[in-house]
A and B are shown apart, each in its own frame.
Chain A
């Protein structure tokens, strides 16, 4: 059967970006959590489906805001489209 393979580099870049967003919203840096978000988002084609899937998943309990969900979608979409080529550093605001 035909399978769709996602470049590992894309996954790494996406999870890193998601992790940075989690750090800014939650103060928590967790690759597993970032990967779970990637797995949910990777199957979705639009932000609405992604937001609904997030709400219906175990992650719904986090109560992420719509703004945050859209930021996550932006990161996912950029990674999928190959717009996130290299790792970006996280700059914490003091």
Chain B
């Protein structure tokens, strides 16, 4: 499995399809610097999207709650 991962990293595999546990395991076990960097970037991408959604969602909830209170 690790060999496959190493090969995959060289082929610039699409990490967006990897599960969290797979990314985490790759980070914990791989020595390939490029692979580690790619996994880190994918983690950050997911967190950024999540954070952005959460912020937008919170603003919307606050606006809705405010609207209801005004009635």
Contact = CB atoms under 8 A, between A and B. Distances in A.
Judged by DSSP, the binding face of B is: helix
Chain A contact residues: over half helix, strand or loop, or mixed? Answer: helix
- Contact count band on A: 10 to 19
A25 interface: yes
A74 to B, nearest CB: 16
Given A26-B46, A62-B46, A33 B20 contact: no
Contact of A25 (B20, B53, B57): B20
A23 B21 CA distance: 9
B19 A59 contact: no
Interface in A23-77: 23-28, 30, 32-33, 36, 58-59, 61-63, 65, 67
Contacts of B53: 33, 58-59, 61-62
Contacts of A3: none
A26 to B, nearest CB: 6
A63 B56 CA distance: 17
A22 to B, nearest CB: 9
A58 B36 CA distance: 29
Interface of B: 16-17, 19-21, 24, 46, 49-50, 52-54, 56-57
Given A32-B57, A62-B53, 11 more contacts: A23-B20, A24-B19, A24-B20, A25-B19, A26-B46, A28-B46, A28-B50, A33-B54, A58-B53, A63-B49, A67-B17
